[in-house]
Amino acid sequence: MSGAGKVVLVSGGTFGIGRAITLGLAARGHSVVAFGLEAPQVSSIAQAAIPGLRGELAQRGLSAELMEADVSQSRDVARVVDAALAKFGRIDAIVNNAAIGPLGTVLDTDEALFDRVVAVNLKGPYLMSRAVLPHMIRQGGGSIVNIGSGAGWGKPNMAVYSASKGGLAALSTAMAYDFIHDRIRINTVIPGGGGIVSGMSLGRVGGDESRFGKGTPGTAAGRAATGDDVANVVGFLLSAEAETLSGTVIDVGCFSHQGGPVPPKPAAKAS
C-alpha cells in the first residue's frame, strides 16, 4: 500500500474524536467511510451529527462517505463494508473509535447496560475486524487502529467501561500477533490529557462544556490534547512511515495507560 490515498472505515466517525479523525484523514487524501448513530446513546450527547459534518467537509473542500449504522450489529457492519467496497473496490484500514462510556460501579450497572457497553466497545471492533480482515489479507496488508482508553487499565467509577477497554487492548495485541505475517498492523491509540471534547465526555457533565476540562493536567505541549492530536497519530499509524509498527500503544496526552494521571503543576516558588 502507498503512504496516502487509502480507503479507511471509521466507526463512531461523525462526532467528537471520530469526527476529528474523519476530517483529518480526509485532509490527508484518504477516502473515508465514516459512520455512527444519529440518535443519542447512553451517557453521550452525540446526535444528528451527519449534516453538520457534511457541511464542515464541504466548507473545507473535502469529501467523505457518511452513513448511519450501529457498530454492534453485524448486519450494519456488513452494510458499511459492502458500501465501501462498492464505492472504492478495496478497504485498506479501519479505525475502531465508536464507544459509549457510562459511569458507575458494578452495583450501579444493570445487566442490559453491561451488555450494551460491551457490544459497542468490544464486540464492535471484533465485528469490524472480522468483516474486513479477509479483504486485507487478499490485498496483501492493511492497518487497524483501535481507540482505547486509560480506563482500560482500571479507573474508579468506570467498572464496565474499563472492562470493555481493557478487553480491547488485549484484543488488539492478540490480533497483532495473529496477522503480522499477513502484513496487517494493529495498534492502539489512547486519548489523554483530560481535555478532549467528545459526546461521551460532555455526557458525563450533563452536556455543559463549561464544566468540562477544569483542572486537566494537559500534555507536554503545555495544553490539553484535542481530537486533532488523536487524528494526527491515527494518520501517522496509517502511513508508510509506520509500516513496521504493530502491537503498539501510543498515549496521546498524559500517561493514561502508565499509571497516570500527571500530578498538578507545582506552584511557582517565591523569589
Q: Could you tell me the pLDDT band of residue 90, with boundaries at 50, 70 and 90?
A: very high
Give the structural domain span for 32: 7-252
At 48 the pLDDT is 78
The verdict on residue 30 lying in a domain is yes
Residue 197 has pLDDT above 90, yes or no: no
We report the CATH number of the domain holding residue 64 as: 3.40.50.720
Active site residue 177: no
- Residues 111-120 have a mean pLDDT of 97
Residue 260 has pLDDT above 90, yes or no: no
Alpha carbons 260 and 153: distance in angstroms, whole number: 10
The verdict on residue 270 lying in a domain is no
- Percent residues over pLDDT 70 in the chain: 82
Parallel/antiparallel/unpaired status of strands 184-191 and 31-36: unpaired
- Residues 64-87 have a mean pLDDT of 98
The verdict on residue 1 lying in a domain is no
DSSP H helical ranges for the chain: 16-27, 50-59, 74-88, 111-118, 124-139, 159-178, 199-203, 227-237
Contact (CB, 8 A) for 137 and 182: yes
Question: Catalytic one among 161, 190, 229, 251?
Answer: 161
The verdict on residue 2 lying in a domain is no
At 3 the pLDDT is 46
Domain count, the chain: 1
- Percent residues over pLDDT 90 in the chain: 70
The verdict on residue 266 lying in a domain is no
Alpha carbons 89 and 153: distance in angstroms, whole number: 38
The verdict on residue 26 lying in a domain is yes
At 40 the pLDDT is 73
Instruction: Calculate the average pLDDT of the chain.
Output: 88
pTM above 0.85, yes or no: yes
- Residues 29-55 have a mean pLDDT of 86
Residue 215 has pLDDT above 80, yes or no: no
The verdict on residue 62 lying in a domain is yes
The verdict on residue 28 lying in a domain is yes
Strand partners, 190: 251
